[in-house]
A and B are shown apart, each in its own frame.
Chain A
Amino acid sequence: MQQKTLFDTAHGVLSHTVLDVRSVGVTFGSREVMRDVSFSVTQGDFITIVGPSGSGKTTLLRALAGLTTPTTGSVRFKDREIREPQREVAVVFQDYNRALLPWRTVSGNIALALEARRIPRAEAPARIAEILRRVGLTNHADDFPKALSGGLQQRVQIARALAQEPEVLLMDEPFGALDAMTRQRLQDEILEIWGSTPTTVVFITHDLEEAIYLGNRIIVLEADPGRIGADIRVELPRPRNQLTTREDERFLAIRHRLFGLLGHG
């Protein structure tokens, strides 16, 4: 059930639709993972997608990333149909330890994105230094991933994504494997990064409260097969605060609603 919200009707006039999901269905073999999912993402949004396991969250993200082609329907980036990964779309995976190059240092991993964009060698050090500063990894520039904690490794992956200077940042349960404190710290960091650039973020999570805390719009997926259960606008003030925002009445109201829709976290 899709709710018509303000930006859906206003696209093209006040803001741009950067991602358009049209009746996407995904079937693997005999298993229908996703059915008739449609929504649009406006540029500059921070969308969180939340749902239980089996709701096809990761499949949806992979379709947005161009890693999986939908069986029915289509995903469009601006005006192009996505069949392959797009340069302007960056992906942060949940398993950071498998997504980083263990044989390169932190700087080297970030450099990989610059090499892919064919940035001249001479420019790279300055750009890398800037990105390291933004994510707080300057002290670890020459460390290998194996020497870093999970939280730091995930930051490296985020840094590499930023080095792509993407228009859209897709994040697949990026903080799921981290402890609560690190998770909270990274939540605020990603909000800060998002706030300082025109990037659009699509953030997958199974954590209801994380979904409310981060996004300005929550898409709720129901399971078996995955389909949209609700599309909720989050009207909480920014900047968000781990203490006060989570105690805000509106936060709690949305939390109640999500619990009602999904049972439990």
Chain B
Amino acid sequence: MRAPAAFLRAALLPLAIFVVWEAFARAHALPDSLSRPTTIFAALGAELLDGSLFAMTGQTLVSAAAGWAIGAVLAIACGIAVGTIPALRATVGPALELMRSVPPVALIPIALLVCGLGPKLEISMVAFAVFWPIIIFTAAGVRAIDPRVLDVARVLRFSPGARIVRFVLPAASALIAVGLRIGAGIALVVAVTTEIIANPSGIGYGIAFSATTLRPDQTFADLLALAVVGFAINALLVAGERRLFGWARA
């Protein structure tokens, strides 16, 4: 009986907020910039039915996933290089930490110049943004490998390429996984931010467009949809990491 009760208690606050908001909206006239919960849910329903919500969500998720994948591949490759070659680590390492603190949003105008509007803009922004945490975690994961593991690989006469695939990657995988998860969180955020500021596609653009055209019902509906998507992705990532890499935590 514990889980359902906890869920009910958790749902109480949002329900209460909706009820109060709705009651207030029915009793008084709301300004143009607000709408009542029922209208918002109606707009949400309409978007679900006519497929526009799926289209928007799909655009955002595809761009985020593509950017994440591209950035991850590049970052893991570079990260292995940085992690294994001490000279590289010394020169590039501090710069990596520095680049990590630069907010990606500041680079959107530059990316706009380079890529123009369109999916390429979003994907490159996401790839750029996830590159830094993933390369840092990959390098750390490689650094943390027990040297004896690598010795075994060499003694067994594996080629460098095979060594990387069969020994380095699995051994560093726990930290790489953390980097990938952080990257996935960043991917969604950067994709949405790019859509809000520049790129006319996806949920972020939907929210921004609805806001500037004074459609509060659609604005809040899309916001709610985004919250659900974000929550679902985060939950999947946490569960996935625990499943795949639970052994590393022991």
Direct A–B contact in complex, judged by CB atoms less than 8 Å apart = no
A binding-site residues for B, Cβ under 8 Å = none
